[in-house]
Each structure stands twice: as structure tokens, then as C-alpha cells.
Structure 1
Amino acid sequence: MICFVTSGSHKYAVRELRDVPGMPKVDLLSYNQMFRSKSLRRATYVFTDFDRLDFWQRELAAKAFRCLSDAGVRVLNDPATALTRLPLLKVLNRRGLNSFAVWDAETDSLPDRYPVFLRTRSAHRGTQTELLGNAEQASMALERLVASGLCKSDLMFVEYCAEPIKDGLFRKLAAYCVDGQIVTGMSVHDESWHAKFGKEGAADADLYQDEYEAVRDNRYSDALKKHFEAAGISYGRADFTLVGGRVEVYEINTNPNNSRILDHPYPIRVETDALFHQRLAEAMQAIDTPIGGKPVPLDHPDLVSQRKRDWLLPRPRWTP
């Protein structure tokens, strides 16, 4: 069994894995449920959603991670070391794995390279501005977002780094990491450089054929291993693109959506998605843990103390 630990309101992303043919048994556990538990049954545990945790939740999660690890349980994504969006992109740029830069809107100076855009560090909202061409535009956009109620501490400038795959069409690529094994995933095609959700009908048969070949050949496996290693993330999905033939990673999501494509105007997309999910299921099988054995106590003093306090708390609030 593989148990994913998520924020309470975002179990839906992992729940979709249960419908994938060949997938091992998948269980779901919220952090709130975990912090109230005296022990956990033996399984493979995958910790996720770090950008949706406050500092104390993340520290408690790291201590639960160590209780499991010390008991010999396979555990992926250490909450104490996994990088979230802003520090990850800074590290990737500093190591030469990404060419584009990012700036913390709260502590860094205004960008010295343009164009840029503003986005949130934690929430999965996409871009908050269009492209900003100079320092004056960047400063005004930041002031406008803060005036609207967004927290400066959760805003970051990102240098524009995208390249159309053909005139007026952008592609965002994806690849999963499952304990070091990279699985090339499905792409998104859009007429906008954001390419967050994709636009139906934007791609053609040639692009979908190329997508199939990328998944079949696991085209981006070698290129992305260093990015996951730099992130300290052993399970997640890298969203990236190619600029001048070079991989540029936008983020690594530890709790990505896993919806399947069961119908499409181009049948090859259904075939590609089935192949991708087959590969993903095979990678999951390799980390599966048989059910059984003595439960693992969550006996760190901070976890014990937190359980005594948490019984008074209501269900945690939803976070974006």
C-alpha cells in the first residue's frame, strides 16, 4: 500500500490514482488526521503539499517522517528538506539548471532582468500579472497586488522564459519522479505563454504524435534527474518547457492532479495517456509496501503534545 499525506482539502488529486489500471492500493491521509494519530500502519508514505502547510505543521510532519523512517518504513519527500517554489527556482538558477531568475518580492530588490511577471509563492493560482517590461511597471504591479490584499511575503517576480513551439502556440511539458525513476508525462498546449490549463483544439496531429513519442521514449528522463535531486523531492511532477532546446523547470508539484484522458478528438492522445499511466503505475509498484506488520508509533514528544491539543480543534480551513 502507498499512503499519500496531503492537506485536508486536496486529497482529490491523489484520489484519481485509484482508478489507474495496475496501480497499487492507494490510501489517503490528511496532515490533520496524521497529527491526531498515535500510530500509523506500515505502508509506503509520500508526504506532499508543503506549500500549503504553516511552519509548525511542516515541522510536525518532519518529525512524523522521522518516526516512520527510523522504523524502517519507506518514506518519500522529507518535509524538513524538500524545496518549495521560490527557493527551488533560486537553487536551480544558481546551479545552472535553469537559465531564468526569480526574486522575492518582500526581501529582494526589484528585478534587474526583464520581462518578468508576478505570481504567488505558495498558492496554485498561476500568474497574477501579464509581462512587466521594466522596473516602473514591476513596482506598480507589486503595489497594486498588495493593495488588493495579497501578502507581499507570498509574492515573487519570475523572469519570462518561454518559447512558442510554433507560431502562436506554447507547450508545457511534465515529468514525474517516483523515488528516483523519471516518467515523462502529458503536455499542455495553449495560445498563451501561461499554458496553465491548455486550450482544446490548439494542437494538431503532428504535435500529438511527438507527445506520444516523448512518453514512449521517456524522452526527458535523464535531463530532469538533477532537478529533482536539487529539489530534495523524490515524488512529484515537474512542470517545464524547452527554450532553445534546454529544459527549464517552472515548478515541482508534490501533489499534482492525475486525471486520465479517456476520450479525445485525436485517438493517439488517449493511447499516449494510457501509456503514461501504465509507466506511472509500474513505478508505483516498485515502491509499494505489503500490508501488515506492527504499526509505527508517532511517539516524538512534540507529536504527543500536539495530539492532546488538537482534539479541541475543528476541521482545518481550505487553502488554495
Structure 2
Amino acid sequence: MIWYLVTAPHAYTVSEHLRGDWGAALRKRMVVMPYELLTRMPVMPQGSYIFSDLERLDALPRKILGRVWARLQDSGCRMLNHPERSLRRLELLDALHKDGRNDFRAFRADTAGEPWRYPVFLRQEKEHSGAQSPLLHDLQSVREALLQLVLAGHALSDLLVVEMCDTADADGIYRKYSAFRIGEHIVPRHVLFSRNWMLKDMDLVGPARRAEILDYCQNNPHESELRGIFSRAQIGYGRIDYALDRDGRIQVWEINTNPQIMRAPSAYPESVRHFHQAFAGRYLEAMQAIDSDGEESTDARWSDLARALVSKGGRRSQP
């Protein structure tokens, strides 16, 4: 049995896939378990555990979950993503820049000070909402943008100042590559194309783009490098979002430990639906490989309760 541990409001990332046709084969062997329920369980069910959503957890919850990890380890369970050791967003970006892999830097807004390399933009440290400002070209613009965000309710301590890394090709096209790590498997997810530097959805399509996506998904060209980056982050389950600079070097934006797996099949245009269905098949194979016993939970009380709690939660969409 696979137990997917997550903050309750963000369980939709997996539960939506399990409700759909492409996730049907996983329904009886995978349970989405809110952390809030896990900490009240008197006995830890056997199986494989994925600790997700680590970006959203503060230090104290991660410390408590580290003790849960130790209990599971002692009982012989398989676990992915240590709550305390896995690198979160800023920690990862710092490490990759120090390693000489990423050309850009990121700083917490409440401790950041010049000099940084302009332009920069602002984003949240714990959320996946993308840029919270346009590109900013001087200190005064940064201060004004931070003030607007704080007045809108953002905590200054949760905002990052990130240096812009221009990865557009000679035609001004930006590409965002995404791939999952699921245990020992690196599974390509997609390539998105846009003329906008902040790329959340694909707004350029056509035969040439579809051919490039197919090539990426079939050939997995960055598998070895991505495996090394995931290992550097100590993350065994998650989705890496990255681009290639003009020298062909990987520039990592983040590793999301609670990525959305799939929207409903009907949400995808028919022209690209087969790409997503193929990914669903590869995702299933990789998840089956981490399932320690391949059986449905022997204690249905907890799995049924977890499913009931998740069904009451929100169903927001996350890219």
C-alpha cells in the first residue's frame, strides 16, 4: 500500500487523478493521507510512505514528522522525502548556485540586501503561484513591489527576491521542462512553450511543438543530470521544473514535492491528450515499483477515513 502524506487543503493534487479514468488502477493501492490524521494514528500501517508538500511545512511540523519517519523506518516501511533533510525551495536554489549549476540566486526579502543582479522578481517561498511581481530593474521598484504585497496580506518573511535567468532561445521562445522522480524512476512530464518569461501554461502549440514534446517524453534526454539534482536535494518523489540556458545547461526553478499529477482527461485538448495519457501509464508503472506489497490496506478504517477527509477538501487546480 502507498500512503501519500499531504497537508489536507492540498490533497487535490493526487486525489483528482485517483478519481479520474487514468488513475483508476491506483485507487486500491494508494491512499492520500492528511498529515493531520497521520499524527493521531495509534498504529502505523505497513507500506510505502511519500512525505509531500514539504515546502508548506514550518520547522516544528517537520521536526514532529521526522519522528514519525523514524517510527516508520523502525517498522520496515519504505519512505520517500525526509521531512527535515529534503531541501526545500530556497535551500535547493542556494545549493545549486553554490555548486555552480544555477546561474541565478534567490534571497529572502526580509534579509536580502543589494547587490543582486537585476532584473529580479518576487515570489512566495512556500507556494506555487509563480511570480508575484513583474521584472524589477532597481531597488526602488523592489521596495514598492514588496510594500504592495505586504499591504495585500503577504508576510515579508515568506517572500523571495529572485534574479531573472533569461532562457529564451534565438526566436524569443521560453521552454519549461518538467519531470517527476518516483523512487528510482525519472519520468518526463512535459515541455511548455511561451513568449512570456513567467511560464505557467503552454500558449504556443503546433506540430513542431508537439514533436518536441514527444521527443522529450520518449527519450528522457536529461535523465542522468536530473537524477543527480534530485539526489542533491534528497528528494525521492517530486516534480522538477527547469529550463536550458543558451549553452544547453540546466537551470532549475524548483522541485515541487506535491505536484499535480493529472487534470481530468477531458481538460486536455484532443491534439495533446495522448501525451498525458502516456504519462499516466508511466506514472502508474513507477508507483507500482515503489509499492512494497502491492496490496490494499489491511486496515480499511484508516484508508476509508483518509479518503473521506480528502473528499471534503478543496479541489483547486495546481500546475
TM-score (norm 1): 0.85
Q: What amino acid does structure 1 have at the position aligned with 2:9?
A: S
2:78 to 58, 63, 74: 74
CA contact (8 A) 1:111 1:135 kept: no
Q: Is the 8 A contact 2:190 2:216 kept in 1?
A: no
Q: Which whole-Å CA distance do the structure 1 matches of 2:274 and 2:201 have between them?
A: 20
Alignment of 1:21-60 (within 5 A): 23=26, 25-60=29-64
Q: Distance in 2 between matches of 1:316 and 1:294?
A: 25
Distance in structure 1 (CA, Å) of the matches to 2:220 and 2:239: 14
1:189 alignment partner in structure 2: 193
Question: Per-residue CA shift, 1:86-115, capped at 9, x if unaligned?
Answer: 111111111122111111211231342111
8 Å contact kept, 1:261–1:273:
no
SS in 2 for 1:173: strand
Distance 2:183 2:160 in 1: 29
Q: What residue is the counterpart of 2:171 in the other structure?
A: 167
* Paired residues of 2:183 and 2:290 also in contact (CA < 8 A): yes
Q: Tell me, which stretches of 5 or more residues in structure 2 are unaligned?
A: 300-311
How far the C-alpha of 1:165 sits from its partner, in A, is 4.4
Answer yes or no: is 1:63 the counterpart of 2:67: yes
Q: Distance in 1 between matches of 2:142 and 2:274?
A: 44
Using the alignment, how far apart are the partners of 1:131 and 1:108 within structure 2?
Answer: 17
For 2:230, give the aligned amino acid: F
* Residue 211 of structure 1, CA deviation: 0.6
Aligned to 2:241: 239
Shift of 1:316: 11
Corresponding residue number in structure 1 for 2:307:
none
Give the Cα separation in 2 of the matches to 1:150 and 1:63: 31
- RMSD value, Cα: 2.6
Contact 2:2–2:291 (Cα < 8 Å) also in 1: yes
The residue number in structure 1 matching 2:289 is 286
What residue identity is the alignment partner of 1:236? Answer: G
Matches within 5 A, 1:128-139: 128-139=132-143
Indicate the residue corresponding to 1:258 in structure 2.
261
SS at match of 1:28: strand
How far did 1:281 drift? 1.5
Q: Deviations over 1:221-277 (max 9, x none)?
A: 11211211121111000011111111111110111011157465563x222222222
Checking the alignment, whether the CA contact within 8 Å between 1:85 and 1:121 is kept in structure 2 is: yes
* Percent of residue pairs bearing the same amino acid type: 32
> What are the equivalent positions in structure 2 for 1:127-166 lying under 5 Å apart?
127-165=131-169
Structure 2 counterpart of 1:99: 103
Deviates more, 1:68-77 or 1:220-229: 220-229
Residue 183 of structure 2: aligned partner: 179
Q: 1:2 corresponds to which residue?
A: 2
- The answer on whether the counterparts of 2:112 and 2:161 sit within 8 Å (CA) in structure 1 is no
The question of 1:88 aligning with 2:92 is answered yes
Distance 2:151 2:296 in 1: 54
Instruction: Provide the residue aligned with 2:217 in structure 1.
Output: 215
CA displacement at 1:168 relative to structure 2: 4.7
How far off its partner does 1:12 sit?
1.0
* 1:269-280 alignment runs, 5 A limit: 269-280=272-283
Structure 2 counterpart of 1:227: 229
Match of 1:115 in 2: 119
- CA distance in 2 between counterparts of 1:318 and 1:156 reads 27
SS of 1:146 mapped into structure 2: helix
The offset of 1:164, in angstroms, is: 2.7
Aligned-pair CA distance for 1:169: 3.5
Cα distance, 1:289 vs structure 2: 1.9
Tell me, yes or no, if the aligned pair for 1:178 and 1:235 is still in contact at 8 Å: yes
Residue 305 (structure 2) aligns with: none
Q: Bigger shift: 286-295 or 143-152?
A: 286-295
For structure 1, the residue ranges without an aligned partner over 5 or more in a row are: 296-314
Distance 1:210 1:114 in 2: 32
41-50 or 56-65, which deviates more: 56-65
- Aligned to 1:132, the other structure's residue is in SS state coil
Code of the aligned partner of 2:83: P
